A = this chain, B = another copy of it.
Amino acid sequence: MKNSEFIKAYAPATVANVCCGFDVLGFAMEHPGDEVWARKKETPGVTISAVTGVTGLSLDPTENVIGVVAQKMLSDLKIGHGVELQLHKGLPVGSGLGSSAASSAAAAYAMNELLGKPFTTQELVVYAMEGERKASGSAHADNVAPSLLGGFVLVRSYDPLDIVPLGVPVELYCTVVHPQVELKTSLARSILKKDIPLQKGIRQWGNLAGLITGLLKGDYSLIGRSLHDEIFEPERSVLIPLFNQAKAAAISAGALGCGISGSGPSIFALSATEEQAMAVQHAMEQVYGSSGIEVKSYVTQVPDQGARLIEQTILQPAQA
């Protein structure tokens, strides 16, 4: 075994739900993202030697999602040696941008490279989902799948798992504004009702069908007409300060649509051009400008690629 081989993988932030696609649709951003560094070690098991970029995340491999993902892969592949991992968080925790998903996806991708690619990227989704199970108690795929695969990804079904990559059939730019308030996914989920009115359900699936059609046909107007969420946004947006004002500002500034990213508090907007997306960013930042609430914001194209290898170093013994 060459324990001098390092792999570093990157996996990006993601926007899940996308207004009308609750629990079944997500898309990747170009940045921010998380990095996982991995190398083999002689002793069995997973160790996490460092977590940088945020404070408060555990180095215990049974408590940190990257450890959980790596351990599951080692077990399933019946690999005797162990791995040492490091995590660099580019993503804030509890942002609604798929923070645990990006870590899980980067870990799965790094492990797969380190182990000689036993899996396709799509097959890694189930491993990254183990990180989501650890983080939130349920193995959601609508963040990990786009973080791994890039573009838009539909999770048609969980039982059986059916991941449908849609790619990026039409050029789109995403603006995200992240008010610096933490909102736990568990809280955002707990306020959801167990039943929904049939009439709202019909509008929701009509809009989702419209959004998918708009994406696949490259119809910006249809995408814009479809980006609505009448079920969850009214309930969840009350947890996000200035949501309604920020959304109104985004639409006024020309966004195709705007909604809650995942379970919030981040707010996303989609635009047809980068220029538009930057105007939307400016307009949304203005809303928060005088409020005393700090925001971080991002503008990125929706990328075709998700998780990727960013460094692979094989040191020769002489150099080691």
Within 8 A of B (CB), among A187-206: 192-198, 201-206
Check: A225 CB closer than 8 A to any chain B CB.
yes
Interface size class of A (residues with CB under 8 A): 35 or more
Please measure, in the bound complex, the distance between the C-alpha atom of A226 and the C-alpha atom of B207, giving whole angstroms: 17
CB pair A154–B206 under 8 Å, yes or no, is yes
Q: A208-B209, A225-B157 are in contact. Are A202 and B22 (CB under 8 A)?
A: yes
Say whether, besides A164-B222, A195-B196, A24 and B201 are in contact (CB < 8 Å). Answer: no
Q: A21 at interface (Cβ–Cβ under 8 A)?
A: yes
Bound Cα distance A49, B225 (Å): 44
Which residues of B have CB within 8 Å of A207? 156-157
Does A25 have its Cβ within 8 Å of any Cβ on chain B? yes
Residues of B within 8 A of A206 (CB): 23-24, 154-157
Whether A166 sits at the interface, judged by CB under 8 Å, is: yes
Could you tell me the distance between the alpha carbons of A155 and B210 in the complex, rounded to whole angstroms? Answer: 8
How many copies, total?
2
A196 to B207, CA, bound (A): 18
Q: What is the 8 Å Cβ interface bit string for chain A, positions 255-275, against chain B (1 contact, 0 not)?
A: 000000000000000000000
Do A154 and B217 touch across chains, with their CB atoms under 8 A apart? Answer: no
Answer whether residue A216 sits at the interface, using C-beta atoms and an 8 A cutoff: yes
- 0/1 per residue, A233-265, Cβ < 8 Å to B? 000000000000000000000000000000000
Question: Does A213 lie at the interface of the complex (its beta carbon under 8 Å from any beta carbon of B)?
Answer: yes
A212 within 8 A of B: yes
With A197-B194, A198-B194, A222-B164: A210-B154 Cβ-Cβ less than 8 Å: yes
Query: Once the chains bind, are A193 and B204 in contact (CB under 8 Å)?
Result: no
A201 near B196 with CB under 8 A, answer: yes
Residue of B nearest to A205 (CB): B205
Give CA–CA (A25, B212) in the complex, Å: 14
Does A294 sit at the interface, judged by CB under 8 A? no
Would you call B25 and A209 a contact (CB within 8 A)?
Answer: yes
Contact of A24 among B154, B156, B209 (CB under 8 A): B209
A213 touches B210 (CB 8 A): no
Q: How far is the CA of A73 from the CA of B157 in the complex (A)?
A: 45
**CB of A65 to closest CB in B, whole Å:** 23
Q: Is A213 a contact of B21 with CB atoms below 8 Å?
A: no
